[in-house]
Structure 1
Amino acid sequence: MNDENRLLSLNFRPKEVEVLDSTLREGAQARGVSFTLKNRIKVALELDKIGVHIIELGWPGSNPKDVEFFKAIKEYELENSKIAAFSSTKRKDISIDRDPNLGAVLNSESDIVVVFGKSWKRQCKTVLNISPEENLDMISETITFFKDHGLEVIYDAEHFFDGYFEDPEYAIQTIKAAEGCSASKIVLADTNGGILPNQVVTVVRNVLDLIKKPLGVHMHNDSGNAVANTLMAVLSGASHVQVTVNGLGERTGNADLCQVLPNLEFKLQISALKSKLPVEQRLKGLLHLSNLVYEASGTPRHPYQPYVGEYAFAHKAGVHVDAITKDCRTYEHIDPELVGNKRAITVSDLSGRSTIVAKMVDELGISFDKKQELIGSILNEVKMMGLKDLELDNSEATVYLILLKHLNLYQKLFEVNEWLSVAEGSVDSSRAYGLTRVKVKEDIQVEGSEGVGPVNAIDIALRKALLKNYPELKKVKLVDYKVVLPEVSRDTASIVRVFTEFTDGNNIWRTTATSKNVVEASVFALVQGLDYYLQKSRLMDKGELKDIKLSHQ
């Protein structure tokens, strides 16, 4: 019987798994990522709130920023999580009590230290320039040193899988050395991220036959298998996993906490959090945690990310939408609310009548029979917009305004009568000016502004014209602006598409528009974004939609 079949026939899975989050240490090693002290604290507190067992804050021996972080976190009382510092083994040719890196760990006053050491003879020879025997001594001395100072030691066997496949006997000797010095856990690291799930099963089962300490894994994602490898390790008997939020980490990243946790909790029924909440409530803050780390790390959100991505529960094909309106389990593997996410209905030229009906229920809470003429009218407009290359997939605000107009719920709150944009520049500088003439109720507001570009100048002038009557627009910010040029263009008068994204601090919405004039398309998209906010506020916050629902019923 091979290892895969053996795994399926026997139940090696633990009842509980200890989770160590390394976002603030390993995640900080991702290219383009640098956490401020304030953001590090925010992330640590959120990890504690969700119930992660151990938070690896950093490597105090490597840089002053990590030292500062360890000092700052002491001002906060963590409810669920223990704090861990990261450290290498002692340096060669230096007395252990004089090693500044190890001393920095002691000064951090962390609860736990994660010590990484070499498992691969190749690393001993080419990186550290030491013999395999010297490496074993360094592992033992370092763990003993920290244990003598009262710290719990988790031993991370770096490059373990590479070392094991090259020389299994020596790789086992390294973790035996750590176990012999009373490391609390032995963690097998796929540092190069190149192994496959079936190999994980083989190695983890073999190692568990040889050591008595709890076993953990630390998986990198270079072959796209970090999450799968982590789960297979747990199914093979590992009871400790190391992960990062959104999979942030060196090169292509690590096993994603946002995938590993829900898979353990919901799919495998393995407790992976220190929480007294029922299982169905434990991960409701997962999307918030994911978004917080994206914001804190300055990395763009991944909309296709499983569980917490914006599109994770988005339905576009008409057949799919029709099915989920009858039974959401037909095209959703879990309830999106379990991870703090929500279902999204996408209107596009692929939509059918069921999509339009579902979108109206989703956005307005109003239900129609899909056979009604109104639904066909809306669908025809959507299809025609698709023919004009006006993509509505990610332009829910544009769709919302279309629905209001067809339902006779739209109320013209302002009208842009004229706009003017002027840009001038030289080699050393450039300037742009915008002028708008806006009718609000019976008033005509004419405003001008200077901006960093023609679109920005128009945006500022438009807001100035509207703020007198609609001061709530102060909260609305344009956070993204994108121009999409046609793939094939015979001249400079081709149709261009503009996408805009807005926020009021709590919600995000997007619009799209087209024109042969990029500034005109931008004005159309800007107007839609502001109009959407005002229309939705009027209907929802002021209760007008409630009255409309009652009259419709």
Structure 2
Amino acid sequence: MNVQEKVFIYDTTLRDGAQAEGVTFSPVAKIHVAKMLDSFGVDYIEGGFAASNPKDMAFFKDIKKENLKHAKVAAFGSTRRAGVDVAEDKGTLALLEAGTEVCTIFGKTWLLHVTEVLKTTAGENLAMIEDTCRFLKQNGKEVVYDAEHFFDGYKDSPEYALQTLEAAVKGGADVLVLCDTNGGSLPHEVFEITTAIREQFDVAVGIHTHNDSETAVANAMESVRAGATQVQGVINGFGERCGNCNLVSVAANILLKTGKTCLADPGKLKNLKQVSQFVNEQANLRDNQRAAFVGDSAFAHKAGMHVDGVRKVSQSFEHVPPESVGNGRRILISELSGASNVMEKLIEMGLDNIDRKSPEVREILQTMEKMEREGYVYEAADASFKMLIKKVLKEHKSFFELEGFRVIVEKRGKNEPCLSEATLKLKVNGEKAFTVGDGDGPVDALNMALRRALHEFYPSIDGVHLADYRVSILDPEEATAAKTRVHIESSDGETSWGTVGVSENIIEASWEALVDGVEYKLFLNEEDVG
């Protein structure tokens, strides 16, 4: 295999990805995403459907003001309408109006769609494909032809499916993209059919897959193995119905596992997790914890035997180095943990001088088991576990002492919102601090009171915010008297950490998690100073 063989990445996050349920990109977000994709090194950025809406047309206008370093911008559209001259077709003219270097058009491959959806003849559909490709080429465009429903059409009538591609080639299409529009094909079918097309045509072949059978990435990789040199997809794989081919996984697989290349600078693969998170943020989506390569769980190890193995030989339980895709290894703490897990945490904390067979490690494990019997879970509460270690090792420092708090929730009328107020008494460095905080709820009010109390003594707390708050009921049969577990995710903008609290009283459980979160930040500050 030629090490330098190039697979072109065609990103359709801003068009196909925007068709996902619950996803809408603002005009500013679309520009931000395009610039990030260009910096990452993708080859094509599909900005939207030229004839669809004013927002997409505004993007094509605005992106011209940006100095993209590598990526070509593509406008998306369809073949001309049946019975309409291509030079008078509004959709085709909108593609020219977009003013992009690349125009991508889709056409019908499946006779079912030709006769039942378009309500036209097989011959007219072929003319629509050829006319539109030729018209765009004559106007100086690079033409990408998306053969919609190609695999379904090919399985239904191979002869006609091939005729549609021949029409595109006659019209001058630069790339023939085989689309698994319904997402129902399997990898072996995609490989066989892509291979057949590569043998029939002397034009570049691409692949566009959907994830309705959970095979979008596998199908794309099989098409690449069969000779496809363009992969269309979406960062993080969201899109219509079950989503599109996930370009995050495709880029990592191609660069790390095939010997081929797919980014302008393959070294940018180390930014993969950052790109994934950025796109999710712009799309107002939460990161998928279990996403391959970039998820927080992608290189998380829980069982003690696995942790011991990965410490000795990383590739024994990691298929690629986490840092190669901008991720990192995480050691989880749970009832499955052993001394290896604890040792990893001690090493993270700089306490690598403790032997795994020492009494301290055994005491940490015993304490953790006791706490878990009471309902504590440390998998998503790394900071709380590190605080537990500090306490067992007699290295814990209390930055403040609680003297008491009171939380009031008041509703002043049927249609009035609830008001929450917290009163807090602390002792900090021998000084008493008394504060009042209000918030959207009792926990928010308590959090605000704590911050105000500590501001004078530890101003770095001002930069910490609560990123997530989750509540679990541990014994629902106890109804309103049930024990509650609270998880809090805190962040200072650069680092995030999780804490846990458990109590029959949800406010007390929340307070415990809040305190761990604040103390962990203060410990980090002391380590930085040290």
What secondary structure is seen at the aligned counterpart in 2 of 1:490?
helix
Q: Aligned partners of 1:13, 1:360: CA distance in 2, in Å? A: 42
CA offset digits 1:471-529 (Å, max 9, x no partner) = 11111111211111135413421211101111111111111111000111111111111
CA offset digits 1:326-350 (Å, max 9, x no partner) = 1111111111100010111111121
Q: Aligned partners of 1:301, 1:282: CA distance in 2, in Å? A: 20
1:398 aligns to 2:398 (yes or no): no
CA RMSD of aligned residues (A): 1.5
Q: Aligned partners of 1:417, 1:71: CA distance in 2, in Å? A: 61
1:145 aligned residue: 135
Alignment partner of 1:295 out of 267, 275, 281: 281
CA change 1:13–1:102 in 2 (3 A) is: farther
Alignment of 1:246-395 (within 5 A): 246-275=236-265, 279=266, 281-364=267-350, 366-395=352-381
The 8 Å contact of residues 119 and 174 in structure 1, kept in 2 or not, is answered as yes
What secondary structure is seen at the aligned counterpart in 2 of 1:176?
helix
2:414 aligned residue: 427
1:551 aligned residue: none
1:46 aligned residue: 36
Alignment partner of 1:408 out of 394, 413, 426: 394
Alignment of 1:137-286 (within 5 A): 137-275=127-265, 279=266, 281-286=267-272
The 8 Å contact of residues 14 and 234 in structure 1, kept in 2 or not, is answered as no
CA offset digits 1:445-491 (Å, max 9, x no partner) = 11112211111111111111111111111111112111111354134
Q: Aligned partners of 1:12, 1:176: CA distance in 2, in Å? A: 29
When structure 1 is superposed on structure 2, of 91-100 and 412-421 the one drifting more is 91-100
CA offset digits 1:162-192 (Å, max 9, x no partner) = 1111111111111110011110010000000
Q: Aligned partners of 1:418, 1:529: CA distance in 2, in Å? A: 19
The 8 Å contact of residues 287 and 308 in structure 1, kept in 2 or not, is answered as yes
Instruction: State the one-letter code of the partner of 2:357.
Output: K
CA change 1:49–1:165 in 2 (3 A) is: same
What secondary structure is seen at the aligned counterpart in 2 of 1:329?
helix
Give the number of equivalent residue pairs: 528
Q: CA offset at residue 14 of structure 1?
A: 8.7
Structure 2: runs of 5 or more not aligned? none
Q: CA offset at residue 77 of structure 1?
A: 1.1
Alignment of 1:363-512 (within 5 A): 363-364=349-350, 366-425=352-411, 426-429=413-416, 430-486=418-474, 488-512=476-500
Instruction: State the one-letter code of the partner of 1:518.
Output: I
1:542 aligned residue: 529
The 8 Å contact of residues 192 and 220 in structure 1, kept in 2 or not, is answered as yes
Instruction: State the one-letter code of the partner of 1:83.
Output: V
When structure 1 is superposed on structure 2, of 399-408 and 309-318 the one drifting more is 399-408
Q: CA offset at residue 91 of structure 1?
A: 2.1
What secondary structure is seen at the aligned counterpart in 1 of 2:481?
coil
CA offset digits 1:270-304 (Å, max 9, x no partner) = 111122xxx5x330110100000111111111111
Q: Aligned partners of 1:99, 1:242: CA distance in 2, in Å? A: 26
What secondary structure is seen at the aligned counterpart in 2 of 1:364?
coil
What secondary structure is seen at the aligned counterpart in 2 of 1:255?
coil
What secondary structure is seen at the aligned counterpart in 2 of 1:293?
helix
When structure 1 is superposed on structure 2, of 93-102 and 371-380 the one drifting more is 93-102
Percent identity of paired positions between Structure 1 and Structure 2: 38
Q: Aligned partners of 1:364, 1:35: CA distance in 2, in Å? A: 43
Alignment of 1:64-143 (within 5 A): 64-143=54-133
CA change 1:231–1:487 in 2 (3 A) is: farther
The 8 Å contact of residues 12 and 45 in structure 2, kept in 1 or not, is answered as yes
Structure 1: runs of 5 or more not aligned? 1-10, 544-553
Q: Aligned partners of 1:301, 1:363: CA distance in 2, in Å? A: 27
Q: Aligned partners of 1:109, 1:408: CA distance in 2, in Å? A: 68
1:18 aligned residue: 8
TM-score (normalizing by structure 1): 0.93
Q: Aligned partners of 1:42, 1:366: CA distance in 2, in Å? A: 43
The 8 Å contact of residues 153 and 184 in structure 1, kept in 2 or not, is answered as yes
CA change 1:412–1:195 in 2 (3 A) is: same
Instruction: State the one-letter code of the partner of 1:390.
Output: Y
CA offset digits 1:419-447 (Å, max 9, x no partner) = 11111224312211111112111211111
CA offset digits 1:387-415 (Å, max 9, x no partner) = 12211111011112112223333221112
Instruction: State the one-letter code of the partner of 2:359.
Output: E
Q: CA offset at residue 213 of structure 1?
A: 0.5
CA offset digits 1:95-149 (Å, max 9, x no partner) = 3233332222212211101111110111112222111111111111111111111
Q: Aligned partners of 1:194, 1:363: CA distance in 2, in Å? A: 49
Instruction: State the one-letter code of the partner of 2:466.
Output: L
TM-score (normalizing by structure 2): 0.97
